Amino acid sequence: MLNIQDVHVNYGHVHALRGISLTVPKGKIVSLLGGNGAGKSTTLKTISRLIQPKKGLIEVEGKSMLKVNSSQIVKSGIIHCPENRRVFPLFTVQENLQIGAITRRNKHVKKDLERVYHYFPRLKERIHQKAGTLSGGEQQMLAIGRSLMGDPKLLLLDEPSLGIAPILVKEIFEIIKRINKEGTSILLVEQNANMALDISDYSYVLENGCIALEGKSKELKENDEVRRLYLGG
Ligand SMILES: Nc1ncnc2c1ncn2[C@@H]1O[C@H](COP(=O)(O)OP(=O)(O)OP(=O)(O)O)[C@@H](O)[C@H]1O
Ligand SMILES: [Mg+2]
């Protein structure tokens, strides 16, 4: 589905990505772990072309995606659900979801709206509520729902668990699993390594803009170094 090789990104003098290579096979969940400032969000922004790489290869379903802009990336089926759940606070839940459908490739908006409400009954109960008055966890659900309205083949999720109570995190991760089972490939950025390793097939660990470790999530979970550094023992 997605293949990136030797991608470099600079912010002025800051060399934020120093030759990242990773792949997301079709139908899989791949997680990207690492501490603050490691370059996780930068990697997602580079894929969705909010920022331009200085060098490297980005392919989607075998086609080079280096000379395209962010709206062409969206058209190719890659939808980015950014950090800090950026919902439109003055618009209602339903309006936020409709905004997510603007860029989509086909017309099954109504069906997908039903699908989002099916995944997130809490959103259905709050259809006419202004998004800015939702709780943090509900806003995260809305951000994911809005991304689904773009009909993604590949969903880029940036820290869906950030600042959310454990019980809601569990609910959100269950839904991420279901979204994947129904056919969407997922690249999941997380600091909550335990949860991410549990639901993903394969994982990469980023450190200082480089891939420090990678492997099957199950195996990484047993890895002593990973346990010590990222799983609290
Ligand atoms: N717009 C920017 N201008 C300058 N430097 C930036 C910019 N965005 C990010 N950086 C730097 O690039 C590095 C990687 O940042 P990035 O946001 O990708 O980290 P992250 O792994 O997502 O961290 P976090 O877990 O805190 O979200 C950091 O050192 C950060 O300060
Ligand atoms: Mg980040």
Residue 75, both tokens: 């058209």
Name the band, by pLDDT with cuts 50, 70 and 90, for residue 224.
confident
Q: Write out pLDDT tens, residues 52-111.
A: 999 999 999 999 888 888 888 998 899 999 988 889 999 999 999 999 998 776 678 888
Instruction: Among 7, 11, 31, name the best residue to mutate to test ligand 1's pocket (greatest count of ligand atoms within 8 A of Cβ).
Output: 11
- Kindly report which listed range (35-49, 178-192, 219-233) carries the lowest average pLDDT score: 219-233
From the CA of 176, how far away is ligand 2's center (Å)? 19
Question: Would the pLDDT of 127 be above 90?
Answer: yes
From the CA of 36, how far away is ligand 1's center (Å)? 8
Rounded mean pLDDT, 114-142: 94
Residue 82, ligand 1, Cβ within 6 A: no
Q: Are 13 and 204 contacting, i.e. CB atoms less than 8 angstroms apart?
A: no
Q: What is the pLDDT of residue 52?
A: 92
Residue with tokens 């395209």: 68
Beta carbons within 8 Å of 216's beta carbon, 6+ residues apart: 201, 202, 203
Q: What is the pLDDT of residue 168?
A: 87
Spatial separation of the C-alpha atoms in residues 123 and 93, rounded to whole Å = 7
Residue with tokens 């800090």: 84
Range of the domain at 41: 2-230
Spatial separation of the C-alpha atoms in residues 65 and 59, rounded to whole Å = 5
Spatial separation of the C-alpha atoms in residues 106 and 44, rounded to whole Å = 24
Q: Residue with the nearest Cα to atom 5 of ligand 1?
A: 11
Specify which residues 57 forms β-bridges with: 5
- Exposed/middle/buried for residue 172 (C-beta within 10 Å: 0-12, 13-18, 19+): buried
Q: How many domains does the chain have?
A: 1
The ligand whose atoms approach the alpha carbon of 43 most closely is 1
Q: What is the pLDDT of residue 145?
A: 95
Residue 40, ligand 1, Cβ within 6 A: yes
Q: Write out pLDDT tens, residues 164-212.
A: 888 889 989 999 999 999 999 999 999 889 999 999 999 999 999 999 9
Residue 42, ligand 1, Cβ within 6 A: yes
From the CA of 37, how far away is ligand 1's center (Å)? 5
Q: What is the pTM of this model?
A: 0.93
> Residue 145 belongs to a domain with what CATH number?
3.40.50.300
DSSP 8-class letter at 130: B
DSSP 8-class letter at 204: E
